[in-house]
Structure 1
Amino acid sequence: MCIFRLMTTLVLSIAGLAMTGLSTSSASEVAPISSVTSPAAEWPSFRQNLLQTGVATSTLPEKLELVWEAQLGDQIEASCAISGGKVYAPCLSGHIVCLDLKSGQKDWSYQSIDEIPANSFAPGFKAPVTISKGVVYAGDEDGVMHAIDAATGKRKWIYKTEGEIYSGAVVVEDRLLFGSYDNALHCVKVEDGTAFWKFATDGYVHCTPGIVENSAFIAGCDEHLRRIDLQTGKELSVLPLSTYLIASPAIRGDLLYVGTYANEVVAVNWKEMKIAWRYRPSDKEFPFHSSAALGEKVLVIGSRDKQIHGIEIATGKGLWTTPTRARVDSSPAIVDQRVFVGSDDGNLYQLAIESGEVQWKFNLGKSIHAGPVVGEGYLVVGSTSSDGRLCCFGKK
């Protein structure tokens, strides 16, 4: 939340998108990445995989039913994670809550601080949850990254930054990367949270990094797209985009896609750091806070113009728009030929990816800022209701 903070606050669907491994020759270097895909049918991080594509590896029933709902005690601003039959949900109450995916029964709840001072509150979680190899990671609004044992809910370690954390964390073998509002991208050891390196920018780093070929890509509030070497933390290349960047970059092949604060979605050849195309739906200034989802032919993204946009990936041509009754900051999830995305009008929408036609919707009662997550045959999404309403859809 860059400007708005100041104001008020694979198995992928296209074959052949495997990721080049990372070389190692010393303890400080990155171990090889076997692939960009996540464990079968899971949704372990903000956009499901290291390329941040927002494409599920799980299927869903043709007709969704509300399987269960839970009240977690405060607003849910960010995306959950699904892994091993569990849901891990972040809450503004300062809790990460683990629930059984099929029943919604609570397994454990982790609090960001051990004791809450009188007349105060626990730092809330506004960042997406990540789970990897039995450890849950999430950053809080006091700038602390937490590593939590997924089985017990007990703290493993914490790492402190100097600003709020809205960025989701990504795990690349032995290291964890995430942005902070202390104007930096941080890289720490997954084992104990000690620092590998920190890359300083000229503005808040809100996005979740995209990872490809030994590199982390960040789009920041300093109006630049940056490519950072995973081993050294050194900048490899940079592209000025002359506008605030909130959304996380999505990557496929040689192209990277990201929405901007200047009412544009841009495709960037990240190897050359050159613009391939720009999509600008109108002359009005409606920011894209939503992170794009990359279907086989269609890119889908929400906008503060109250619409969901379908864009031809090959050309940047607008294919369709679907109106909602409020802004769309939620980041879409693609499941086969369907798109799922929330809106501030309180509705979770299911759209046909080729046409944008609304096939189904469900009203959660309050704004949906979080992106829906799809794993192990279920879809889970939370709302900004004061009781922290979390809903799970699938087949009863």
Structure 2
Amino acid sequence: MIIPWNDFAFPTVHFGTIYVGNSHEASNGSLYAIDELTGRLNWSYATNGGVWGAVAADVANNTIFTSVGNPSNAVVALDATTGTAKWTYPIPNSNGDDDPGSAISVSNGLVYVDSKIGSIYAIQESDGILAWQRATGTPNIGNVSSLAIANGVAYVGSLDTNLYALNAATGEVLWKTPTVKGIQSSPAYANGIVYFTSLDGNLYAVDAATGTIKAKLPLGASSFSSLTIVNGWVYCTATNGNIFGFSL
């Protein structure tokens, strides 16, 4: 299936269906559900705003969650089979570009999204009511990093230069680790270590419990790459055109 305009969101596969959103300055954007085997469109949902990040799926409740950019500025829960909206939570937008630009994370009944207004929102999966909100930047220094959640802790990068560790249930800041420049990377967790890249041109490995830097590996250029961990290796890219692989 050919999706109109630009496709910025990473596809998510859930029980034989591919969910992917699109965005364009001249389009209101949509979320598409496509049959994995045939490429046939099952349904589409008009989001009235760009879908910049991957959706998340709750298998048990047959629900998918997506963030939506300008002008909707919202998080939406949809029935995974029909595309019917279950609830919508609006994200505040003070200057016209504070919409959520990150992928959705779901854990223990909460839906998490980062936003360019500089705050993280945790929304109750069941009814779309806000559980907590935590500022990890400022409205002038927003965030596009998606959250990694492990052992009750949410890890997220900020363009204020810090990697934050938050209590996933309450939003309490447990620690933060500064870098030289902002973080657009979405972190990854493995074996008690959190990995992320920074616009300062390094890949960082920090202790998940304390935030202590365990390793700082130069990439030779700035990086806003998210991390992939496979078979004991962590992979990322940098703006110098290189792909890097480091042994854990």
Q: TM-score, normalised by structure 2?
A: 0.91
- Runs of 4+, deviation exceeding 6 Å: none
1:174 aligns with 2:11: no
Cα distance in 2 for partners of 1:392, 1:188 equals 32
For 1:325, the equivalent position in structure 2 comes to 180
CA contact (8 A) 1:366 1:384 kept: yes
Name which of 208, 217, 242 aligns with 1:389.
Answer: 242
1:239 Cα offset (Å): 1.1
Cα distance in 1 for partners of 2:130, 2:146 equals 18
Cα distance in 1 for partners of 2:43, 2:89 equals 22
Structure 1 vs Structure 2: percent identity of aligned residues?
24
For 2:209, the equivalent position in structure 1 comes to 354
1:167 Cα offset (Å): 0.7
1:263 aligns with 2:111: no
Name which of 47, 50, 70 aligns with 1:201.
Answer: 47
CA contact (8 A) 2:137 2:143 kept: no
Q: TM-score, normalised by structure 1?
A: 0.57
Name which of 210, 223, 227 aligns with 2:56.
Answer: 210
Cα distance in 2 for partners of 1:196, 1:179 equals 14
Bigger fraction of residues in strand: 2
1:285 Cα offset (Å): 3.0
Choose between structure 1 and 2 for higher RCO, CA contacts under 8 A separated by at least 6 residues.
Answer: 1
1:173 Cα offset (Å): 2.3
Spell out, residue by residue over 1:234-268, the C-alpha distance to the aligned partner (whole angstroms, 9 max, x if none).
11111112230111111112111111111111111
CA contact (8 A) 2:111 2:124 kept: yes
Spell out, residue by residue over 1:196-229, the C-alpha distance to the aligned partner (whole angstroms, 9 max, x if none).
1110011101110000121110011021110111
- CA 1:310–1:161: 2 relative to 1, 3 Å: same
For 1:249, the equivalent position in structure 2 comes to 104
1:193 Cα offset (Å): 1.4
- C-alpha RMSD of matched pairs (Å): 1.4
Cα distance in 1 for partners of 2:9, 2:137 equals 29
Cα distance in 2 for partners of 1:344, 1:282 equals 16
1:273 Cα offset (Å): 0.7
- In the alignment, structure 1 segments of 5+ residues that lack a partner are 1-158
The structure with more radius of gyration = 1
For 1:273, the equivalent position in structure 2 comes to 128
Cα distance in 1 for partners of 2:54, 2:139 equals 27
1:363 Cα offset (Å): 0.8
Cα distance in 2 for partners of 1:216, 1:316 equals 23
Equivalent residues in 2 for 1:221-370, closer than 5 Å: 221=69, 222-243=72-93, 244-281=99-136, 285-370=140-225
CA contact (8 A) 1:281 1:318 kept: no
- CA 1:322–1:249: 2 relative to 1, 3 Å: same
Cα distance in 2 for partners of 1:294, 1:189 equals 29
- In the alignment, structure 2 segments of 5+ residues that lack a partner are 94-98
For 1:165, the equivalent position in structure 2 comes to 7
